[in-house]
Structure 1
Amino acid sequence: MLVVIAIIGVLVGLLLPAVQAAREAARRMSCSNNFKQIGLAIHNYHSAYRKMPKHGTGPISERAIGANWPKETELQHERLSAQVALLPFVEQQALWEQVSNPLIVTSGGTTETYPAFGAIPWNVVAQTNIYTTDWTPCFTDVNTFRCPSDPGYGLPLAGRSNYGVCYGDAIDYMHLGPYTSWARNTRADAEYKAAARGCFGLYTQTAFRDILDGLSNTICMGENNSDLGDEHITTSPRRNANVANKPNNCNGQIEVTRPQFWRTSPHKNNFAETKRGACWAGATMGWTMCNTILPPNREVCTVGHNTAGGGTYTVSSRHQGGAHVLMADGAVRFITDSIEAGNDDLGTVKYGGTGVRAPGSASPYGLWGALGTRAAKEVIDEEF
């Protein structure tokens, strides 16, 4: 009897890793299928409107024209992500109807009426404003926007997202779009265009015709982890004001004995709503954007005190060894952590930059950076 029990124990010990591996393989395939559905949605959207969905969209009041972003709560002023526009194309018509029409919500005996396209998403996630704490769409999980391998669920975040649009291989104006300090009357088009080299920008729209490097050679979206509250380097941003000039400037804050976690405490302004993947409906950088500067699963480092500033928002995942990306042609690729990524000690391309940082230059971040740019004329001559 003891021998039989011992043999069974050994067999279970041998089989358990195989079972876990099989389950993760199934989750990884499901994640890839989700991304394929998003890719198909983007192509269907483009077929309908001749543009890709706008990241940083929604109504804006006349009071905001010619002035800084207004503070009133009745409109969210172009704070919605591109994923909102994709809802009708990923079989979420009911949720789209909630977003695009006035919505009446009753909670705790209080009834609120929200305007079409709702409230400011980060106010909803932060639960800091009575008017914006119960806007239902922000707290709705959309399975198509979630990776099954990511265990994150519920508060302190809202409707989590594991996929974000690709800004390219730069940092400048990632959080401003073609404006200066959110001032609607102060344009910064040249500065923005020099840096926004990816499939998506902010507050602007691109089309397939703008992707001169080829749809199959350009990353459209990337996968990212959602925060678990454990100060993981891929989900809880740290700050270094010089990160645009030296993208690896935050790695000195990583715990040596636990290289996937920070040794430093978050900045005092690093609230829950700044965490990675917090809400699919919001256009902020940490939630639904990525860039191709540091390789997959490297640290998240911001210029500002929180995710309101640009930074190194690389792709990440709970899969082993890499993360998925969605190419502009709709193909889904798994990019390994060891992809050739150039020199992470070099600054990003910017307006007025020289040498490898000059506008229009090939990406300084090797194959990884080249995949993020849409029209830098790099030649992709190797498998990835």
Structure 2
Amino acid sequence: MTVRTPQRHAFTLVELLVVIAIIGVLIALLLPAVQQAREAARRIQCTNNQKQIGLALHNYHDTYGKLPYNAVPQTGSVGDRQRGPSWLTRILPFVEQSAAYDQFVFTGDWTMQDGPSPNANILGQLRVPGFNCPSSPLPETETQSTNANGDVILQVVNYVGITGSYWQGGTTNVVSPSPQDSSYGDAVYNGMIVPVNTKSNAISLASVTDGTSNTMMVSEQSDFFYDVNRAKITRRSSGHAGRSWGNGGGAGTWTANVTTLRYPIATEGGTGNGANYHVNVALVSAHPGGVLATLGDASVRFVTETVNFATLTGLADRQDGNVLGEF
């Protein structure tokens, strides 16, 4: 008798290509879901970052009776300039950064643009992870050539304080009657993170007559802007001299780490919205569809890009007296 051994067949080329095609289709179907899950996780982390900033602002208020101010008028001339720290610097003890804060000397030029700073070495090493949005494609540090401290690598954050609204809250074409400073745009002090000068003073939560749950303290500048040719533009209020730690030129001049809302979300260009040191740089976010914003009660809300602009101006103005629309 002849015993026949069963023959073993290999995959044909067609079968192999079919298997590869099926795997490719499965990957194509799963990839968007994976990306959405990752973005959801990053958005949760960004929400938590802003929540911690909101709590830090409240703890600062509990300690000093006022919210942190962002600027005082600069003094001195080039070579001996005196410029103060940003509101972000002031809340460092309340975000577990006392080790750095306790070493600071509150004198000199915190922007390091026109004068020396005794804090340059500390600032060059300071990194606060909770001040950057995990979805942001923008660099987290930049090298600055200073007037007297050489090159310093500084953190550049994605969160910005709201000084107020250029338009009276709840309107889109009525210029606010609140005190204004016109330099590199128009800064208005009807918001919550304001300077100290002849037109403004640090505010308490009692001054938020619209209610803390109806007023923004902080929001995002965490993505590129796009011009009419779809070219990427890097612009954020923490991106000029001193980066995250300086208050800009001071009250009544160029600013840093704050903005007066004048344009809808993700708007590129316009008066006061053309450079990092301008005072009306728009809000923009790497999260699809809108920006995260920290309200005066330390809650964090997602504000869509399609929100009624009158509602957005109302959120930025602490004292307009209008009823907010849906957001």
Q: Please report the TM-score for the alignment, with normalisation by the length of structure 2.
A: 0.74
In 2, Cα distance between equivalents of 1:315 and 1:87: 23
Deviation sequence 1:100-152 (CA, Å, 0-9, x none):
xxxxxxxxxxxxxxxx136424336xxx8777794331552211111111132
Q: What's 2:163 paired with? A: 167
Q: What's 2:52 paired with? A: 37
Change (3 A) 1:17 1:306: closer
Deviation sequence 1:243-284 (CA, Å, 0-9, x none):
xxxxxxxxxxx32x42x646xxxxxxxxx9x85432221223
Matched-pair contact (CA < 8 Å) for 1:277–1:287: yes
Match of 1:86 among 87, 91, 116: 91
The within-5 A match list for 1:204-219 is 204-219=201-216
In 2, Cα distance between equivalents of 1:226 and 1:9: 31
Q: What's 1:277 paired with? A: 238
Return the offset for 1:169.
Answer: 0.9
Please state if 1:197 is matched with 2:190.
Answer: yes
Residue 326 of structure 2 aligns with an amino acid whose one-letter code is E
Residue 40 of structure 1 aligns with an amino acid whose one-letter code is L
Deviation sequence 1:175-230 (CA, Å, 0-9, x none):
xx98898xxxxxxxxx98xx311112222301101000000001111111267xxx
Q: What's 1:299 paired with? A: 268
Matched-pair contact (CA < 8 Å) for 1:138–1:281: no
Return the offset for 1:34.
Answer: 0.4
Q: What's 2:25 paired with? A: 10
Structure 1 stretch displaced more, 154-163 or 81-90: 154-163
Greater relative contact order (CA < 8 Å, ≥ 6 in sequence)? 2
Q: What's 1:375 paired with? A: 319
In 1, Cα distance between equivalents of 2:110 and 2:269: 21
Matched-pair contact (CA < 8 Å) for 2:67–2:205: yes
Q: Extract unaligned runs of 5+ from structure 2.
A: 1-15, 145-153, 168-178, 249-253
Return the offset for 1:168.
Answer: 1.1
Secondary structure at the residue paired with 2:26? helix
In 2, Cα distance between equivalents of 1:87 and 1:6: 54
Change (3 A) 1:14 1:309: closer
Residue 170 of structure 1 aligns with an amino acid whose one-letter code is Y
In 2, Cα distance between equivalents of 1:56 and 1:323: 25
In 1, Cα distance between equivalents of 2:273 and 2:326: 36
Q: Extract unaligned runs of 5+ from structure 1.
A: 61-67, 100-115, 172-176, 182-190, 234-253, 263-271, 342-365
In 2, Cα distance between equivalents of 1:129 and 1:197: 31
Q: Please report the TM-score for the alignment, with normalisation by the length of structure 1.
A: 0.64
Change (3 A) 1:138 1:166: farther
Please state if 1:77 is matched with 2:83.
Answer: yes
In 1, Cα distance between equivalents of 2:182 and 2:24: 65
The two structures, once aligned, show a CA RMSD in angstroms of 3.1
Change (3 A) 1:287 1:4: farther
Matched-pair contact (CA < 8 Å) for 1:73–1:131: no
Change (3 A) 1:92 1:211: same
Return the offset for 1:298.
Answer: 1.2
Matched-pair contact (CA < 8 Å) for 1:293–1:368: no
Please state if 1:47 is matched with 2:62.
Answer: yes
Secondary structure at the residue paired with 1:299? coil
Please state if 1:334 is matched with 2:278.
Answer: no
In 2, Cα distance between equivalents of 1:200 and 1:130: 26
Q: What's 1:122 paired with? A: 111
Secondary structure at the residue paired with 1:317? coil
In 2, Cα distance between equivalents of 1:179 and 1:373: 16
Change (3 A) 1:372 1:291: same
In 1, Cα distance between equivalents of 2:80 and 2:99: 22
Matched-pair contact (CA < 8 Å) for 2:205–2:212: yes
Secondary structure at the residue paired with 1:222? strand
The within-5 A match list for 1:224-235 is 224-225=221-222, 232-233=225-226
Secondary structure at the residue paired with 2:135? coil
Match of 2:35 among 16, 20, 26: 20
Matched-pair contact (CA < 8 Å) for 2:56–2:91: yes
In 1, Cα distance between equivalents of 2:206 and 2:26: 57
Secondary structure at the residue paired with 2:245? coil
Percent of pairs with identical residues: 31
Residue 89 of structure 1 aligns with an amino acid whose one-letter code is F
Residue 69 of structure 1 aligns with an amino acid whose one-letter code is T
Matched-pair contact (CA < 8 Å) for 1:122–1:282: yes
Change (3 A) 1:134 1:308: same
In 1, Cα distance between equivalents of 2:47 and 2:222: 14
Residue 334 of structure 1 aligns with an amino acid whose one-letter code is F
Change (3 A) 1:139 1:165: same
How many residues get paired?
277
